[in-house]
Amino acid sequence: LRYETNCEESDSVSDHALAGGVSLLLLCVLVRSLIRKYEIKWMPEVGAVTLIGVIFGLLAKNFGGYNFEFFDEAIFMRVLLPPIIFNAALIVDKHTFKKYAGPIFLLAFPGTFLCSFICGYLLYGLAYAFGDRCIDLPIIEALTWGALISSIDP
């Protein structure tokens, strides 16, 4: 009994897609290594890898026939996004962080708190100003959005 006989076509991953994904991952690792080796300061590693992803995404959409309508958002939210968000915490120099922990916390907490209210009230103001063309947004939801955004992307 073959594996393919029990699979639906939409659920299976083709060999080409798998090879393309692995090749893309290897290319990103290579570019990251080259940026570190040659100490390229004008292009951050994340920017280079993002640019590679955008280019390959456009190529796949325009020439590869890949249908992006069936991209699973749950995989992005649970697998791909957490390493992006927590990348800075993983590569921070712990000795330097401990040395400057006091000033960091002294500025981070009030800054995040203030930014939460600024972002929340700006969103609420925009929703109120464009209320006839936009959604009716309660203030608590706008402030919640402000707290979420300011804590990960100040």
User: What is the C-alpha to C-alpha distance for residues 142 and 128, in angstroms, rounded to an integer?
Assistant: 11
Pair 26, 67 in one domain:
yes
- Total residues found in the chain within this entry: 154
Pair 26, 43 in one domain:
yes
pLDDT in tens, 13-72: 567 777 888 899 999 999 999 999 999 989 888 889 999 989 988 888 788 666 666 667
What is the biggest distance separating any 2 CA atoms in the chain, rounded to whole angstroms? Answer: 65
Domain finish residue from 91, 109, 137:
91
Quote the pLDDT of residue 119.
93
Pair 130, 54 in one domain:
no
Pair 65, 109 in one domain:
no
Residue 45 CB burial class (10 angstroms; 0-12, 13-18, ≥19)? middle
Return the higher-pLDDT residue of 120 and 87: 120
Pair 99, 73 in one domain:
no
Domain finish residue from 67, 91, 115:
91
pTM: predicted TM-score of the whole model, two decimal places: 0.47
Pair 97, 85 in one domain:
no
What is the tally of structural domains in the chain?
Answer: 2
Q: Which residues constitute the domain of residue 63?
A: 1-91
Domain finish residue from 70, 91, 112:
91
